[in-house]
Structure 1
Amino acid sequence: MQLCRRAVACLLKGILLLPATSHAGDIDGHALNAWWGVPFAGLLLSIAALPLLAPTFWHHHYGKVTAAWALAFLVPFAMIFGAGAATTGLVHAAVGEYIPFIILLAALFVIAGGIFVRGNLHGSPWLNVRILGIGAVLASVMGTTGASMLLIRPLIRANDNRRHVAHVVVFFIFIVSNAGGALTPLGDPPLFLGFLQGVDFFWTARHIFPETLFLVGALLAVFYAIDWYWYRREGVVQPDPTPDTPAFGFEGRANFLLLAGVVALVLLSGFLKAGVAFSVAGAQVSWAGLMRDLGLVALTVISLRITPDEVHAQNRFSWGPMAEVAKLFAGIFLTIIPVIAMLRAGVQGPFGPIVAAVTGPDGQPLPAMYFWASGALSSFLDNAPTYLVFFNTAGGDANVLMTSLATTLAAISAGSVFMGANTYIGNAPNLMVRAIAEDRGIRMPSFFGYMAWSGTVLIPLFIVITFIWFR
């Protein structure tokens, strides 16, 4: 323990003594070995397994587990390579990626949580399809988290007089919590990380719109057939248990203006070519990024101040989900540092076999392999760091990936976003939607029961996408 305390103290001191020219990208992946990826893999496996194997322990101690894995990387790295190298990686990951990422996610979470859809719709296959379709569009505008939190409650209320509802929530996760967010950096965390790496705001909308349209359209068609079957099989619809007195409308409507402000700030930060505002341990903060993040914080505070308490109460708004995401991603963004460095080392680096698996004999990337590799990891790990890993495996140069390697970047983007729907743990909104549904009395499929749904419905569609767009 004394050794760990000295190492942490050296890290804190290193932040003050670090030369301004240092940069996380200066870490030489060739100097590392694959064991440096153990904390990253261990953390992601903990996220996947502990909620299932030890749910009570995980619920009370997930922050400690995350901190333990982070220190399992940071302390040995500081002892071997020095406090300067460790603090450089730490500060660069925080300032360059983690803080902007969490600020955007928190803004969408809070502002969407300040909008309550009142009224009582009556669930039918056609109405449910319309809600899912609207959610798919909104997901790329206000994020999969924002769209999911906005629409899952009215969708559940609309179907509260039906016996078979679990499939409605499952397809909601497929479409709104995942596939619908594939068109903009606002839609899903992986794409926002790509935006921070230099990918143009509208690049994904231009390059994976056909794939997204096909996937969402096919899922809506399959859902309508299944929902129509159960709707007809239930026979006469019993009286709705919830009152019909409230007229359809929105409470907390001012938050829609704040959502428009979020979109405007992100767009503005992508188009402004402002200079560097300041540097922290070699991590540069641009004026555009600083303005965006401060603006998002201001919009978040405004939403909390102007949203009536009864709206938050009706939405059962709490900080629990956001706190969990913030803690987990803090560990992920830290432990992924050596993984990215080793992947950037290419075929000659410690992760050479992984790079070789997605690279053809001619040295060119294989889009189909990138699609399935990024998708497979996004199914069981978190899709945001998975995107970042394969983005860097493909070279990490946004300008090259958007042009000569456009199909590869499209495959990485589509795989990371689409296949986050394969399991409950593939994307943060999946678990949030499941928790809300179970809280409302819906008996959701188990972890493997949900995978039976995704394996039957999603995997065949992904195979079709591969043969049409990523061969």
Structure 2
Amino acid sequence: MTLPGAALGLAWALPFAGLLLSIAVMPLAAPAVWHHHAGKIAAAWTLLLGLPFALNFGAAATGGVLVHTLVAEYLPFTLLLGALYTTAGGIYIRGNLHGRPALNAGLMALGAALASVMGTTGASMLLIRPLIRANDNRRHNAHVVVFFIFIVGNVGGALTPLGDPPLFLGFLQGVDFFWTARHLLPETLFLLGALLAVFWALDTWLYRREGVTPLDPTPDTSGIGLEGAINLLPLAAAIALVLMSGTWRPGIEFDLWGTPLPLQALVRDGGLLGVAAASLWLTPAGVRAKNQFSWVPMQEVAKLFIAIFLTMAPVIAMLQAGPAGVFAPLVARLDSPAAYFWLTGGLSSVLDNAPTYLAFFHLAGGDAQRLMGEGAPVLAAISGGAVFMGAMTYIGNAPNFMVKAIAEERGVRMPGFGGYLLWSGAVLLPLLFLVSWRWMQ
């Protein structure tokens, strides 16, 4: 069921705003309460939306929206994230890596190259653990993870539909597979080069100033290598399933309480479950233990994002209502590629960037052929805004929060929501202004 976005007022966005405020403030203001009750707090904000919605629109409409959000949006998101988390967690990059600036920058450059092939989530899950392990004897290492989120978790995925969920949604709408590679390559290379240069300069300064602690907690003299490389097969299968769901269209659909379920989506989601099961079965004993693998980060992301998806549904609907909705003043400002870039990106940083991309894609006309032709500057702006600015906050893109959770579980003192925003505002935002000035006019 589609929410009546034109009939919704800003009050329906308050539970989502409250959830964002809780994520931003409570880990700092009440860390013990948040750690033990984050799921309950997220559920409370969801109920604060769901109960009034049911009273105003009826149980049937509420059930339809709930089924659509869970089955068509949240479950595919979680199954893909879970499959990639499981498979990457079974690959152990062996060796006593030392977190010197050159190695750190090299791992990030490798991750950026992999991101457009295996997705930002896949590349992030594969490389974040060896990067943390390489820097676990640095006195300050949170900045390494922050730049990893910028580079591998977001910007690196800007070149193909496999790279980032917004581009995959565009692919499903008819955008050619290599269109973004042709139209976003200069912007992407500029951002990656600039971010790597800034990181290398900062990391070099910190490394020379503090060095490393005398004791390396991860001694390993066996040389660099891969254990659990068999997981590359289910990882490749996960990528193939995602690509299949965008290219194979048998025209068979099932209906679940008003939500259409295409056969290709069901095959993809069932296949992703099989991928995770195969990874657990195939991974040699002891590999996950070496990776210090646990389900805690996945559980944390799954609990918070179910609330995020549900509470942001009215916000997306109001946005999709265009001139007829409460966001009409924003829609009226969509008069240039730069406007699309900043509005798509700004909202992607606080909403999930995939549905935000789709909303602005339709606001721009929704015709892929026209947008790839005469509308190419606008489509490039929407694509770049959604992918690049997904890095501005922890919740802008799926890997961001997952990487944060893994890092914190491994003892890295990551900045809170506001602290991370200071990093992205100081480092990423000036570069985005340069991108807008040079390419989004």
Name the amino acid aligned to 2:309.
Answer: F
Determine if contact 1:191/1:413 at 8 Å carries over to the other structure: yes
Q: Which residue of 1 aligns with 2:64?
A: 88
Counterpart among 291, 305, 326 of residue 329 in structure 1: 305
Instruction: Supply the distance in 1 between the matched residues of 2:325 and 2:211 (Cα, whole angstroms).
Output: 62
Counterpart among 149, 156, 162 of residue 180 in structure 1: 156
Matches within 5 A, 1:10-409: 24-25=1-2, 27-160=3-136, 162-195=138-171, 199-233=175-209, 242-357=218-333, 359-360=334-335, 366-395=336-365, 401-409=371-379
Distance 1:168 1:46, change over 3 A: closer
Per-residue CA shift, 1:331-369, capped at 9, x if unaligned? 233333333332233223222122123x23xxxxx3212
Q: Which residue of 1 aligns with 2:389?
A: 419
CA RMSD of aligned residues (A): 2.9
Alpha-carbon offset, residue 298 of structure 1: 0.7
Alpha-carbon offset, residue 119 of structure 1: 0.9
Alpha-carbon offset, residue 409 of structure 1: 3.2
Instruction: Supply the distance in 2 between the matched residues of 1:257 and 1:240 (Cα, whole angstroms).
Output: 33
Alpha-carbon offset, residue 448 of structure 1: 4.8
Counterpart among 419, 425, 435 of residue 455 in structure 1: 425
Which structure would you say has the larger Rg?
1
**Which sits farther off after the overlay, 346-355 or 72-81?**
72-81
Determine if contact 1:37/1:338 at 8 Å carries over to the other structure: yes
Distance 1:137 1:244, change over 3 A: same
Alpha-carbon offset, residue 49 of structure 1: 2.9
Distance 1:446 1:63, change over 3 A: closer
Q: Which residue of 2 aligns with 1:18?
A: none
Name the amino acid aligned to 1:255.
Answer: N
Alpha-carbon offset, residue 267 of structure 1: 1.4
Structure 2 SS opposite 1:171 = helix
Alpha-carbon offset, residue 167 of structure 1: 3.4
Structure 2 SS opposite 1:369 = helix
Instruction: Supply the distance in 2 between the matched residues of 1:425 and 1:332 (Cα, whole angstroms).
Output: 9
Instruction: Supply the distance in 2 between the matched residues of 1:266 and 1:203 (Cα, whole angstroms).
Output: 18
Per-residue CA shift, 1:23-42, capped at 9, x if unaligned? x23x4333332322223333
Structure 1 SS opposite 2:93 = strand
Structure 2 SS opposite 1:60 = helix
Q: Which residue of 1 aligns with 2:440?
A: 470
Name the amino acid aligned to 2:54.
Answer: A
Determine if contact 1:139/1:146 at 8 Å carries over to the other structure: yes
Distance 1:460 1:292, change over 3 A: same
Distance 1:39 1:116, change over 3 A: same
Determine if contact 2:94/2:225 at 8 Å carries over to the other structure: yes
Alpha-carbon offset, residue 253 of structure 1: 0.7
Determine if contact 2:301/2:402 at 8 Å carries over to the other structure: no
Structure 2 SS opposite 1:243 = coil
Per-residue CA shift, 1:438-468, capped at 9, x if unaligned? 5555555565554443333212211110011
Instruction: Supply the distance in 1 between the matched residues of 2:419 and 2:4 (Cα, whole angstroms).
Output: 43
Structure 2 SS opposite 1:102 = helix
Determine if contact 2:137/2:212 at 8 Å carries over to the other structure: no
Per-residue CA shift, 1:346-399, capped at 9, x if unaligned? 223222122123x23xxxxx3212322333334445444544554454455555
Structure 2 SS opposite 1:208 = helix
Distance 1:85 1:392, change over 3 A: farther
Structure 2 residues not aligned, in runs of 5+: none
Instruction: Supply the distance in 2 between the matched residues of 1:44 and 1:323 (Cα, whole angstroms).
Output: 18
Alpha-carbon offset, residue 168 of structure 1: 2.8
Determine if contact 1:276/1:284 at 8 Å carries over to the other structure: no
Per-residue CA shift, 1:276-318, capped at 9, x if unaligned? 2311122222222222111111111111122234211122222
Distance 1:342 1:397, change over 3 A: farther
Per-residue CA shift, 1:67-110, capped at 9, x if unaligned? 23333333333332233322222222233222222211111111
Name the amino acid aligned to 2:252.
Answer: V
Determine if contact 1:48/1:425 at 8 Å carries over to the other structure: no
Alpha-carbon offset, residue 252 of structure 1: 1.0
Alpha-carbon offset, residue 219 of structure 1: 1.3
Instruction: Supply the distance in 2 between the matched residues of 1:398 and 1:40 (Cα, whole angstroms).
Output: 31
Alpha-carbon offset, residue 265 of structure 1: 1.4
TM superposition score normalised by structure 1: 0.83
Per-residue CA shift, 1:38-63, capped at 9, x if unaligned? 23333333333333333222222222
Determine if contact 1:48/1:380 at 8 Å carries over to the other structure: no
Alpha-carbon offset, residue 470 of structure 1: 0.9
Instruction: Supply the distance in 1 between the matched residues of 2:143 and 2:234 (Cα, whole angstroms).
Output: 33
**How many residues end up aligned between the 2 structures?**
441
Distance 1:442 1:94, change over 3 A: closer
Distance 1:321 1:441, change over 3 A: closer
